[in-house]
Amino acid sequence: MINKQHLIDRFISYVTVDTESDPASETTPSTAKQWDLANALAQELKDIGMTDVTIDENAYIMATLPSNVDHEVPTIGFVSHFDTSPDFTGANVKPQIIENYDGKDIVLNAEKDIILSPSYFDDLLQYKGQTLITTDGNTLLGADDKAGITEIVSAMEYLIQHPEIKHGPIRVGFTPDEEIGRGAHKFDVEKFGAEWAYTMDGSQIGELEYENFNAAGATVKVKGKIVHPGYAKGKLVNSMYIATDFINSLPRLETPEHTEGYQGFFHLHGMEGKVEETVLKYIIRDHDKGHFEARKEVMQKLANEINSEYGREVIEIEIKDQYFNMKEKVEPVMHIVDIAEEAMKELNIKPIIKPIRGGTDGSQLSYMGLPCPNIFAGGHNFHGRYEYVPVESMIKATEVICKIAELTALKK
């Protein structure tokens, strides 16, 4: 049995370290504070008995649990990231532990009237009677993906302490900067040396995913002309009005709040404007490669049309691909998904096989030669003040890792 309190203590020790990444930075890791947890993790892996523990100049951590069987077993891996999203602050995280959750509203912050309510977040009702870890309403929690790290470290520790559980060689990897799309950029797949791996970066218990969005980011710069408003007739061009036209010309219902499942979207996630210049930040997502390319073309065509209307370039658009759907790389080796599914079933967990409405390090790693499906880490409502994780889900995820290792060793 996984020690519940030990797991809680480990998780809290991770989330109370600020590891927010920064998309504006060009270093790796993108923030110096990520080193604080990275160095601690490397030491912890040594302390629990892992071998070949390394941390490179970019804070990528790798370690090995040697095989304890006398027959040849494929080397498998487990990967998680230790940075947290820049979308919401991860500084001064103060976790709250809710024992034996009663299914009612949880007051995160009485002073600010911040409530985590099952009437809005109905997934909460799945966890009545369980132990929840929440925020205090002022920060995110960091279960994305410090729950995954907790589970991987706890599973390795458990396997070391229970040599009666047979397994082949296991590699673990922890990465910086996943939240800004760079988690796999400097990951040395050859050094990692696994035939396949699993990211522990999903959400609710049972999730098993091998499909994800194709993803791109778009920066739209809108140029205006500033003139004193008292003398502006026929001269002033307000970039914010042009930007509004651009925003409103994209399909209004093809946004995150109106889509689900395999449906793609345009997501305006940042905007900064003055009369002379407005900058829009978009992400573009679609599971279907053809639809993904069409979305990029729609944005470029719209910019061209507005430029034509003004008779000059008032809109400049830059679109950069970020990652692609891992399905193409995982389907030829579907046995790696089958093993994870079997592991869950043996642990009485109902597998939820569905597409990821996002991406993980695994999507990029799959294209780098390391097929890498994604498994639940247990958290909900990532990247905001309403984030929470059931402890029992983290325990189950830890058990899934152990069971995958055991099943892989049995499949000679």
CATH, residue 267: 3.30.70.360
Neighbours of 251 (CB within 10 A): 11
Q: Which of 285, 306, 323 is the last residue of a domain?
A: 323
Predicted pLDDT of residue 412: 60
Neighbours of 369 (CB within 10 A): 11
**Residues 77 and 182 reside in one and the same domain:** yes
Rounded Cα distance between 265 and 352, Å, is 23
Which tokens go with 215? Answer: 């993803």
Q: What is the CATH number of the domain that holds 62?
A: 3.40.630.10
pLDDT tens readout for residues 288-305: 999 999 999 999 999 999
pLDDT tens readout for residues 363-405: 899 999 999 999 999 999 999 999 999 999 999 999 999 999 9
Question: Closest Cα to residue 220, out of 272, 265, 172, 185?
Answer: 272
**Residues 207 and 235 reside in one and the same domain:** no
Which tokens go with 177? Answer: 């900067």
**Residues 101 and 182 reside in one and the same domain:** yes
Q: Are 173 and 194 in contact (CB under 8 A)?
A: no
Kindly give the confidence (pLDDT) of every residue in the chain, 412 residues in length, as a single tens digit, with 9 standing for 90 and above. Answer: 899 999 999 999 999 999 999 999 999 999 999 999 999 999 999 999 999 999 999 999 999 999 999 999 999 999 999 999 999 999 999 999 999 999 999 999 999 999 999 999 999 999 999 999 999 999 999 999 999 999 999 999 999 999 999 999 999 999 999 999 899 999 999 999 999 999 999 999 999 999 999 999 999 999 999 999 999 999 999 999 999 999 999 999 999 999 999 999 999 999 999 999 999 999 999 999 999 999 999 999 999 999 999 999 999 999 999 889 999 999 999 999 999 999 999 999 999 999 988 777 888 999 999 999 999 999 999 999 999 999 999 999 999 999 999 999 997 6
User: For this structure, is 178 an active site residue?
Assistant: yes
Of the residues 22, 151, 178, 211, only one is catalytic, namely 178
Phi-psi region of 311 (alpha: psi -120 to 50; beta: other; left: phi over 0): left
Of the residues 18, 20, 44, 83, only one is catalytic, namely 83
pLDDT tens readout for residues 151-168: 999 999 999 999 999 999
What is the domain extent for residue 133? 4-212+325-410
**Residues 64 and 132 reside in one and the same domain:** yes
User: For this structure, is 272 an active site residue?
Assistant: no
Counting the structural domains of the chain, the total is: 2
Q: Which of 300, 323, 346 is the last residue of a domain?
A: 323
**Residues 43 and 111 reside in one and the same domain:** yes
